[in-house]
Amino acid sequence: MRRIVRIVSMLPVVAALSLASCQAFTAWIVANTQTTKKVEAQYEVPKGKKILVLVESSLSETDQPVARMLTERLNKRLRESKVAAETVPYDSLLNMSATAAGFANMRPAEVGKRLKADMVCYVLVHEFRLKDKELGHLWRGQFEAAVSMVDVESGRQVWPVAGHEGYWVDPVRTPPTMDSSSEYEAVFAGALCDEMADRIAKLFYEHEAPAVGEEQGSRDVWSGY
């Protein structure tokens, strides 16, 4: 059985970024945006629900600098798009993890119940990488994750209805970029989380997308400074 890591802590460089903006980026979408198409929601969350975003990982704990950034960005998008009436703050989850016995072994529905959520947006990270190698200044980002929605009251996964791996989100990938500045890692990590949060949130509401050009999953999502 694959080991799942419950992420409740951050690397120091990322902890300082929970509220940081990525205004250094000019745009994510570089495909033709003059012609758009309407994209239906993959799953419509019932109205008036309080949602807990729970980010976990199939990777080792030392590779996980993303939980707070992704959770806070996704919380914001779920509220702004009216998918969620309310979201559970990341700090509430962090506090619970420090005080609840057996937290790491709790099922998502149980975590949601203790935090008084109606539904859990469960995100399982399969890949988060900023570089191909730890050393050097060549950055090449990759972010892959699967998402599911769990009803807290019943304890059941209500979406997707088939399979246990969840719905695989279009992966976020960036072309190679050279940069040696000390702040680049922080900005780059935040940008990957911004894009992944946007892609996850759009699974739950109708939105416009480019009708001409590359599909979301294969387009470049990097425009540098």
At 16, is the pLDDT very low, low, confident or very high (cuts 50, 70, 90)?
very low
pLDDT of 24 > 60? The answer is: no
pTM for this predicted structure: 0.79
Burial of 31 (0-12, 13-18, 19+ CB in 10 A): middle
State the pLDDT at residue 177. 87
Summary mean pLDDT of the chain = 81
pLDDT per position as a tens digit, 98-124? 999 999 999 999 999 999 999 999 999
Burial class (CB in 10 A: 0-12, 13-18, 19+), 131: middle
In sequence order, the 6+-apart residues with CB closer than 8 A to the CB of 57 are 4, 5, 7, 63, 64, 124, 125, 126, 128
**What is the structure's pLDDT at 34?**
59
Residues 6+ apart with CB under 8 A from 120: 51, 52, 53, 54, 108, 109, 111, 112, 149, 150, 152
95 vs 25, higher pLDDT: 95
Contacts 24+ apart (CB under 8 A), 108-111: 108/54, 108/150, 109/150, 109/151, 109/152, 109/154, 109/155, 109/156, 110/155, 111/52, 111/54
Question: Which of the listed ranges 12-21, 82-91, 172-181 does the model predict with the highest average pLDDT?
Answer: 82-91
**DSSP string spanning 79-132?**
HHTTS-SEE--HHHHHHHHHHSTTGGG--HHHHHHHTT-SEEEEEEEEEEES-S
Return the pLDDT at 26. 39
Identity of residue 1: M
Q: How many whole angstroms separate alpha carbon 219 and alpha carbon 172?
A: 9
Site of tokens 């990777």: 59
Check pLDDT > 50 for residue 187: yes
Domains annotated for the chain, with CATH where assigned, are: 7-17+41-205 (3.40.50.10610)
